[in-house]
Chains A and B, each alone.
Chain A
Amino acid sequence: MKLTIDGREVECRSGATILEAARGAGIRIPALCDHPGLEPFAGCRICLVEVSGRGGFVPACATPAEDGQVVRTRTPEVLALRKRMLEFILAQHPYACLVCPEKASCDDLKSTIRKTGEVTGCVLCPENGDCELQRVADEVGLDRVDLPASYRNLEVHREDPFFDRDYNLCILCGRCVRVCEEVRGAAVLSFIHRGGRTEVGTAFGRPLLDSGCRFCGACVDICPTGSLIERAVRPQPAATGSAEIVCPFCAQGCVLTLRTRDGRVLDAVPADAEPNRRQACVKGRFLVRGALGGAGRIREPHVLKDGRLVPATLDEALDRASSGLLAAAEGRRALVYPSQVPLEDAFLFLEFGREVLGAGTVVPSPAPEVEMALEAFEARHGLPLPATRRLAAIGASRSILAWDLDLPADHPIAWLEVVKAARGGAVLVSAGRAPAGPVGQAALKLRLAPRPVSAAASLAAALLEAAPGPAAAIDGFEEFRDAARAHAAAARTSKRAAAEAARAIAAGAPAAVLFDAGSLAGPAGLEVLAWLWGIALLAGARLVPLGRGANERGVYEVERGFRSLAPATGSRELWPGLRAKGIDALYLAGPLPDLGALRPPFLVCQDTHWSRNAERADVVLPAAAFAETGGTWVNTEGRARTSPPAVAAPGAARPDGALVAALAERMGRPGFARRDHAAAFREFCERVPGLRGALRPAGPGEAVFLPGRPVGKARFAPVAPASRRRGRRPGPKAAAGPPLPREILRGLDLAAGSPGFARTRRDR
């Protein structure tokens, strides 16, 4: 499509707005309420332009570009009107500084830092210098406001964690209202009252905490003024550096921009990169700084002396660690390595475990549970599960079955895809709890209690009624059908809810079935997975497993590669060994629940944060945390990305790889500390089919993915026959240990480390 803007011929895609067409051609039209990623709103009227053949002025952000259109963005009338519009907007925003003739030299002239609770001008505003309203005022060239200033004198909201809301600075552009509903699916905010009293707020003016807010920070990042400000950032000076790192808090692998100054992190904001595209969640947005610099960091090596842990030099600690580990017999040594570290470090741990430690037991922690479930499924049924890993596949679905998930909390970016699909008309079927907000409100609900297997079977049976046909030719169909009917007949779940859900799933192609390790928890987990796979086959749906821990997918693939190259001799289970007192020395670098009485005779803890286990260790080694060390991270999609070191590690903390290499050297393997470790890792990746090519350097912006697994001909997995004895529960799996806190990063328990975060998670 071609149109003319300010005398220039401009090309754009059909369906684009005039504003998008102009931006594409590098023609700047100022705008305040418009934002990429939000639907057009036409609220601020700053982007008004003239279009030939149409009387008056039209907002460029909400007017579709048309072939042959002639648009003028800078006529004297348009420029004057823009100024006038901005004046109306500024009448309720402190504007003295914005139109002050001395503003360019203000920083030089200002002699004192004034301390005040109220922002009455830019010089007192935390957003000063980084404010869209300032930029637009400059662009529009406003040098005076003819309307009387009216200060609304609204109470500043300081009752919620992480950020304050000062609606005295709000210009009612509605970006926060819209991002909360359109992108995050929360709809916690709206315009309240009317006319000159209009303000943004929550229902009944309640705190965000009581309004269903998830504190993702999207409103803070999208606000063009200083209304919404991260509390801790308020008194900070400007950043001097920045780095784009991979978020370590969950398996989605968001890219965050860390702003730094003097080697400290000021804040973390979501980057405009895949997979998160300017979005994050409460953890990535607000917990990064605390996780790096907060209390509880292990800064120095420690050794146990006379029953007490005392600071020591690194040499001393490493000597103690190596002699203690060597004192134990080879088969009675164990290694727990962290999965929330770069792949290069995980690789070193694995190599160390096999070649140096000769460990009888090597396990990752937190365990990559969903990957292990897929592996166990394959082992049981000889059937590699054709899993779809790309999150974008969720957004492209017309119906989505979410099986026992807390999507907004555990899988925030997958949740954004669900919101996108739902806004496009897709149906969400929520088995178990439904998320708060309009999308969850509109979801069809399925009860999982008392037995998830019965609920799944009922849904499968209902699907057989709703969509018989295409799946009938797939191997194992008859057995699956008969089992589904037998289970459903015995189930106590609502037939009506199952039928309604089945009709929605059958009608909404393509469909997606989402699950994570929590969906498969308990002894019947693999049974549930077989049912979900059957449901996916019946509905022609994609099966989308979602990982929970950062880098767990990558670490799992590296570990699998290790096994394929050199079959493991030792055990992959830790707890049976601990319980049988078969472990004399434990090198503990990943998080574990309090070992208590199961603590082995010799314990080395290598961690970023103090934990119960570290406090009771023989040796404590301080590890560099995520943003302090570079390396490769792979998200649940298999998307690989290199994360650079952004700040220096505190105290004597060293990257895990360096500590492992130093320990290996002391244990008589000097060759282990290869100089170019990253190159060795890349070489390893080339030898492993599952990793081949995944870590080749890509061009800027080019996504690199782990290759998918080969899958055979689809067939139903056999399911256990319906049991007459309901309520029978098999005993707990002996191999499993006590559960870890749900949200941890190595030794840091996020809820324990951040009271604000704990408040946002109180319903869990």
Chain B
Amino acid sequence: MPVSPNGLEVLVRRYRGRRRALIQVLQDIHDRYRWLPPEALERVAEALGVPLVQVYGVATFYKSFSLTPRGRHVCTVCLGTACHVRGGAAVLEEFERRLGIAAGRTTSDGRHTLERVNCLGACALAPLVVVDGHYHGQMTPVKVGAVLAAAAKDEAA
């Protein structure tokens, strides 16, 4: 989605002057654009009265904020301790092979972004993969194709 001054204004307006709302407003922007464009950070700094560098510091601190554009489907593979011992690495490899990108990258057609995280806090489901907010527990490399197909179907629908 292209970033427009008006679009940003709508998101930022209700937090004007509220320094403590920084993470909230960044989340709102991230939900809408799937990343934090530089002009959005500048606008947030101005509206909330927070120095730009501090907005940038917060934006780089959290793994859930991306400072580069992300694909329409975000696949997050957990490699926390539990997921790791139960074969998370093989699942990640299969995603990399099928999408043709390394973890942390976005496919050139802008469809998929692949990410690895260090724990999603749902270790009972290990190995765990989250695609567009849907949790897929007890993943195996074999299931990767089906998970990606389900995401593609969502898009078509």
Contact = CB atoms under 8 A, between A and B. Distances in A.
10 contacts: A190-B51, A190-B53, A190-B57, A193-B61, A194-B60, A203-B41, A203-B55, A203-B56, A211-B52, A438-B50
A181 interface: yes
B53 A189 contact: yes
B51 A204 contact: no
Contacts of A190: 51, 53-54, 56-57
Contacts of B49: 438, 441-442
B60 A187 contact: no
Contacts of B38: 204
Interface in B103-122: none
Contacts of B41: 203
Contacts of A192: 56-57, 60
A268 interface: no
A151 interface: no
A203 B58 CA distance: 11
A365 B137 CA distance: 80
A279 to B, nearest CB: 19
A437 B53 CA distance: 10
A202 interface: yes
A438 B51 contact: yes
A457 interface: no
Contacts of A437: 51
Contact of A187 (B46, B53, B61, B62): B53
Given A191-B57, A191-B61, A204-B38, 11 more contacts: A187-B51, A187-B53, A190-B56, A193-B60, A202-B53, A203-B52, A203-B53, A204-B56, A437-B51, A438-B51, A442-B49
A188 interface: yes
Contacts of A202: 53
Chief secondary structure at chain A's binding surface = mixed
B8 to A, nearest CB: 17
Interface residues of B, number: 15
B154 to A, nearest CB: 32
A242 B80 CA distance: 57
A523 to B, nearest CB: 36
Nearest to B38: A204
Given A203-B41, A438-B49, A194 B61 contact: yes
Contacts of B61: 191, 193-194
A516 to B, nearest CB: 27
Nearest to A193: B60
A201 B51 CA distance: 13
Contacts of B52: 203, 211
Chief secondary structure at chain B's binding surface = helix
B66 to A, nearest CB: 13
Contacts of B56: 190, 192, 203-204
A187 B46 CA distance: 14
Contacts of A193: 60-61
Nearest to A198: B61
Contacts of A438: 49-51
A-B pairs, top 8 by smallest CB distance, nearest first, are: A187-B51, A190-B57, A203-B56, A190-B53, A203-B53, A203-B52, A194-B61, A193-B60
Contacts of B53: 187-190, 201-203, 211
Among the interface residues B41, B51, B52, B61, which one has the most CB atoms of the partner chain A within 10 A?
Answer: B51
Contacts of A442: 49
Nearest to B46: A441
Contacts of B55: 203
A193 B58 CA distance: 8
A274 to B, nearest CB: 29
Nearest to A195: B61
Among the interface residues B46, B49, B52, B53, which one has the most CB atoms of the partner chain A within 10 A?
Answer: B53
A321 B56 CA distance: 62
Nearest to A189: B53
Among the interface residues B49, B57, B61, B62, which one has the most CB atoms of the partner chain A within 10 A?
Answer: B57
B51 A181 contact: yes
B22 to A, nearest CB: 12
A654 to B, nearest CB: 49
Contacts of B46: 441
Contacts of A211: 52-53
Nearest to B42: A203
Contacts of A194: 60-62
Contacts of B50: 438
B30 to A, nearest CB: 17
A441 B41 CA distance: 15
Contacts of B62: 194
Contacts of B54: 187, 190
A330 to B, nearest CB: 61
Interface string B53-93: 11111001110000000000000000000000000000000
A187 B50 CA distance: 9
B15 to A, nearest CB: 15
Contacts of A201: 53
A601 B53 CA distance: 58
Interface in A179-237: 181, 187-194, 201-204, 211
Among the interface residues A193, A201, A202, A438, which one has the most CB atoms of the partner chain B within 10 A?
Answer: A438
B76 to A, nearest CB: 17
A478 B108 CA distance: 74
B65 to A, nearest CB: 11
